[in-house]
């Protein structure tokens, strides 16, 4: 059982417990297929979270549950999946960046384990904010908001976010858009209170360009590599099917560790016969 940085509400109670699925080919294939089929990145993340989570707050998660997860929870789960499925989780991940000073492309290798986490505040998932209109409550940004933003063409993103996250004003439902407008100062206050309440992962790193030595601030994408290239998995299936004559279904159901083990055995046998590697 793992503990989410934020968690979801069920009947007013905050639940942070979750459990990841056992990695196998079928899960990997589902992640790749949804990447191809989905229209927006946040929607794809929601679909992958449904696939990689066996349990969220004691139940198999539905789309609404993973949409209700705050942004840091979603990122954190993607990172836990990396660590859960990597053959050698202690090894660093490789990223590339283009130097802003000399344009050289260089590599850097953070470790997912080392990504710092700012915990959620006590009042999570709500932030209470004193506005020019009265005392208001907002909930922290979650997957549903990210999905909505990916579909909207409204230019005033800050206002759009505040309106979408608004829970109440002086204990009553919030006013309808355009009725009583939020001032710029209100928007500032909402933004900073939501930031204070939300958990946050430190995905921004200081790196140094090896060519010109200038310091570069880079952001790492927690969702990178969540879907492995399909040809890797298909090559595994092909190799195992040719050697053992197992069905595709049977191979997809093998736990990742067992699949890797059989591939190593095939490699070893081929090596002994002087036919090169798999």
- The dihedral over CA atoms of 253, 257, 260, 261, expressed in degrees to the nearest 10, equals -110
Nearer to Zn ion, 56 or 99 (CB): 99
Nearer to Zn ion, 185 or 212 (CB): 212
Nearer to Zn ion, 183 or 214 (CB): 214
Q: Which one among 28, 99, 127, 194 touches Zn ion, defined by CB under 5 A?
A: 99
- Shortest distance in whole angstroms from residue 93 CB to Zn ion: 21
Candidates 183, 202, 204; CA nearest to 130 is 183
The residue range among 31-39, 207-215, 227-235, 270-278 that interacts with Zn ion, by the rule CB under 5 A, is 207-215
CA-CA distances (angstroms) from residue 241 to 245, 249, 251, 254? Answer: 5, 10, 8, 12
Q: Please name the residue ranges forming H helices in 184-229.
A: 184-197
- Any contact of residue 211 with Zn ion (CB under 5 A)? yes
Q: Which one among 21, 97, 140, 209 touches Zn ion, defined by CB under 5 A?
A: 209
User: 147, 43 in Cβ contact below 8 A?
Assistant: yes
Helix (H, G, I), strand (E, B) or coil at 225: coil
Nearer to Zn ion, 99 or 136 (CB): 99
Q: Which one among 22, 37, 212, 265 touches Zn ion, defined by CB under 5 A?
A: 212
Nearer to Zn ion, 83 or 101 (CB): 101
DSSP notation for 112-147 = GGG--EEPPPTTTTEEEEEETTEEEEEEPPBHHHHH
Helix (H, G, I), strand (E, B) or coil at 207: strand
Note the maximum CA span of the chain: 79
- Any contact of residue 101 with Zn ion (CB under 5 A)? yes
Helix (H, G, I), strand (E, B) or coil at 153: coil
- Shortest distance in whole angstroms from residue 114 CB to Zn ion: 24
Per rule CB under 5 A, count of chain residues that contact Zn ion = 7
- Any contact of residue 217 with Zn ion (CB under 5 A)? no
Q: Which residues of 25-61 are buried (b: 16+ CB within 10 A; e: fewer)?
A: bbbbbbbbebbeeeeeebbbbbbbbbbbbeebbeeeb
The residue range among 4-12, 119-127, 147-155, 203-211 that interacts with Zn ion, by the rule CB under 5 A, is 203-211
The residue range among 111-119, 175-183, 204-212, 220-228 that interacts with Zn ion, by the rule CB under 5 A, is 204-212
The residue range among 40-48, 76-84, 100-108, 122-130 that interacts with Zn ion, by the rule CB under 5 A, is 100-108
β-strands 134-139, 126-131 pairing: antiparallel
Q: How far apart are CA 221 and CA 96, in angstroms?
A: 11
**Mask for 56-95, x = binds Zn ion (CB under 5 A):** ----------------------------------------
Nearer to Zn ion, 79 or 99 (CB): 99
Query: For binding to Zn ion (CB under 5 A), which residues are involved?
Result: 99, 101-102, 104, 209, 211-212
């Amino acid at each position: 059982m793992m503990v989410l940085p934020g968690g979801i509400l069920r009947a007013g109670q905050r639940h942070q417990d979750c459990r990841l699925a056992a990695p196998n080919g079928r899960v990997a294939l589902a992640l790749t297929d949804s990447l191809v089929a989905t229209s927006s990145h946040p929607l794809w993340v929601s679909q992958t979270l449904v696939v990689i989570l066996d349990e969220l707050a004691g139940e198999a998660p539905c789309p609404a549950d993973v949409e209700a997860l705050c942004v840091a929870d979603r990122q954190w789960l993607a990172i836990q999946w990396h660590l859960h499925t990597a053959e050698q989780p202690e090894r660093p991940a490789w990223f590339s960046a283009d130097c802003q000073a000399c344009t050289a492309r260089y590599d850097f290798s953070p470790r997912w384990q080392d990504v710092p986490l700012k915990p959620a505040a006590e009042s999570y998932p709500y932030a209470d904010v004193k506005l020019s209109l009265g005392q208001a409550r907002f909930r922290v940004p979650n997957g549903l908001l990210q999905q909505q933003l990916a579909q909207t063409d409204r230019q005033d993103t800050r206002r759009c976010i505040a309106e979408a996250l608004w829970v109440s004003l002086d204990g009553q439902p919030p006013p309808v858009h355009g009725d009583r407008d939020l001032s710029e100062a209100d928007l500032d206050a909402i933004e900073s209170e939501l930031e204070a309440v939300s958990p946050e992962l430190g995905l921004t790193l200081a790196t140094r360009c090896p060519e010109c030595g200038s310091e570069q601030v880079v952001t790492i994408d927690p969702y990178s590599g969540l879907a492995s290239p399909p040809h890797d998995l298909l090559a595994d299936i092909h190799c195992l099917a040719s050697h053992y004559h197992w069905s595709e279904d049977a191979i997809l159901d093998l736990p990742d560790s067992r699949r890797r083990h059989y591939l190593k055995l095939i490699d070893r046998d081929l090596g002994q016969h002087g036919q090169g590697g798999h």
